[in-house]
Structure 1
Amino acid sequence: MSVLIVIPARYASTRYPGKPLVKLRGAGGQARTLIERSWRAACAVAGADRVVVATDDDRIKTAAEGFGAEVVMTSDTCVNGTERCAEAHEALGGGYEIVVNLQGDAPLTPHWFVEDLVAGLRRDPEAGIATPVLRCNGEMLSGFKEDRLNGRVGGTTAVFSAEGAALYFSKEVVPFTGRDFAPDEATPVFHHVGVYAYRPGALAAYPAWPVGPLERNEGLEQLRFMENGRRVLCVEVESRGRQFWELNNPEDVSRLESMMAQMGLD
């Protein structure tokens, strides 16, 4: 089953303009752009047949080609990464059986997250899209709550059925927990990892659907699938001791660099 990984990247981010070209310093002191680190993470995924960067910006195109990435130029009308992935897949002529959206702000995504995600979608023929979720420990949950208390948009949380069907995604911390947890204690809150695997039919249908109220209010693209009755599969993944975070705000640069230093990632 052929797998295409698309890394959507745009320069004109509302919260953090120019984010893909922000440099992050690794454990050995090597500074690489966010888009390069995300591309390297994608290239480490076993079973991927092709990896491309999809952008509408010549600055990102030049930078990506400079470190050896294949680039697909897409329109500036794409409102999110899923729409950009759909356009990139079409521009490449289609034909892939699974398209993975590895968003360009998640350079610490372990390769097994994506591998487990693809395997989960293959096992569930009723799902048109799959996405990974990671159970929070007390330390991670505290970070989520601190971000919200300080008015920052941190990670996204997910709730899902016993069979893995998504029930809701939110930038708030859901479900509500009425107590504190020890740093290493497992919690009932799941961090949604911003990676998606689509079947081509669901991906191609997505841009034609209007933006619904849930997607508009939360700013979460995956809610459009749910608002249009499509099954979204949540695949639980294991951290295996790896720390994980996306770059959502300028304050996250130091957080990511600290994580890379602790894990010895250059």
Structure 2
Amino acid sequence: MKKILIVIPARFGSTRLPGKPLLKIAGREMLLRVADIAQDVCLSNEHCRFVVATDNEQIGELCEQHNIDFQYTSEHCKSGTERCFDLIEKLDYQPDFIINLQGDNPLCPPWFIQSLIDSWSQSDVGEVFTPFVRLTWPELDTLREVKQVTPFSGTTVQVAKNMCALSFSKNIIPAIRKEEQWKGETEFSPVLRHIGLYGYTFDALKAYLSMEESHYEKCEGLEQMRFIENAIPVKMVEVSYQGRDGMSGVDSPEDIQRAEKIIAENGEFDIEQL
């Protein structure tokens, strides 16, 4: 009987947005929006539960007010991945598949998470699972414009034929020669945008914590590069926003404005509130 656990790391001490999980987006705290998404997925899968992992009492109090399961974790966790494992070590059971749904990802479509669960349950390749979207040429132009304002918002990925990741970067990769020629041949650019959502097998998550911070992880500030540099296969799962505008996380005041604009234009997810 396979057990699935959705962990929502929620750190208070963001450098750019202190108290980020408690900030409101269109009138509702960011963390509550993420919890709604996790609850929706749990209702659709057997033996699935979610829990918030935090090091902050204010976040814990918000969870208590809304009857959300939470666990205090170490103040010394350096990433959401470390916070996930710190929480798991405090549990009285071992989940088979752990989903890291960051507490600053309030517009993550529930079907993205379901796609990771489905890929894990059906695939014999991959120990880490994470989604991506193919960018159309207009979407690539939009990403370029965003990076003029917030250069470290948005991550791109290169993918091998077996659908495992080759590399991730905060730069836009790959470089595109003869771009105008490419545009005349295909609707989609060769750029794939990574969505900051992860699923791990228990063994992969445990291995991550036993490895030192890797070279490109330090350069890019991307924790998933530790898996790549240690030859742990990261299976990429293609997803679609299904006609909605999308963003993978809130990292800046500008991102809050983008999120509210998306909600105003696309409406809320059809999710029963907690």
Q: CA deviation at 1:137?
A: 2.0
Q: Report the AA paired with residue 245 of structure 2.
A: Q
What letter matches 1:249 in structure 2?
Answer: S
Give SS of 1:76's match: coil
Amino acid in structure 1 at the alignment position of 2:28: R
Which residues in structure 2 correspond to 1:86-125 (within 5 Å)?
A: 86-125=85-124
Q: Which runs of 5+ in 2 are unaligned?
A: 270-274
Take 2:22 and 2:207, find their aligned partners in 1: how far apart are those partners?
31
TM-score (norm 2): 0.90
Tell me the SS of whatever aligns to 2:77. coil
TM-score, L = length of structure 1: 0.92
Task: Work out which of the residue numbers 232, 238, 259 in structure 1 matches 2:240.
Answer: 238
Whichever residue aligns with residue 165 of structure 1, its letter is: C
Q: Among all aligned residue pairs of Structure 1 and Structure 2, give the percentage whose two residues are the same amino acid.
A: 37
1:176-255 correspondence runs (5 A): 176-178=175-177, 179=179, 185-245=187-247, 246-255=249-258
Which of 239, 258, 262 is residue 261 of structure 2 equivalent to? 258
SS of residue paired to 2:89: helix
Match of 1:6? Answer: 7
- Aligned residue pairs total 260
Q: Displacement, 1:186?
A: 2.0
Partner Cα distance (2:128, 2:226) in 1: 11
Q: For the residues of structure 1 that align with 2:252 and 2:152, how far apart are their CA atoms?
A: 8
1:115 alignment partner, SS class = helix
Contact 1:135 1:190 in 2 (8 A): yes
Query: Shift of the alpha carbon at 1:33?
Result: 0.8
Corresponding position: 1:18 with 2:14? no
SS of residue in 1 equivalent to 2:129: strand
Unaligned runs of 5+ in 1: 26-30
1:151 deviates by 4.6
Mapped partners of 1:213, 1:59: distance in 2: 35
In structure 2, the residue matched to 1:42 is 38
Cα distance, 1:57–1:164 mapped onto 2, change above 3 Å: same
1:53 Cα deviation after fit: 0.5
Do 2:125 and 2:235's aligned partners in 1 also have CA atoms closer than 8 Å? no
Whether contact under 8 Å (1:147, 1:153) holds in the other structure is no
| One-letter code aligned to 2:32 | E
Query: CA offsets per residue over residues 137-188 of structure 1, 9 Å max, x none?
Result: 2332122211323353221111111111100011111112343669x94221
Which moves more between the two structures, 230-239 or 87-96? 87-96
Query: Which sits farther off after the overlay, 7-16 or 195-204?
Result: 7-16
Q: Deviations over 1:21-51 (max 9, x none)?
A: 11000xxxxx111111111111111216111
- CA displacement at 1:263 relative to structure 2: 1.1
Aligned to 1:64: 63
Q: Distance in 2 between matches of 1:14 and 1:169?
A: 23
Indicate the RMSD between aligned Cα atoms, in angstroms. Answer: 1.8
Structure-2 residue corresponding to 1:28 = none
Say if 2:24 and 2:30, in contact at 8 Å, map to a contact too: yes
Instruction: Please tell me the residue identity of whatever aligns with 1:35.
Output: L
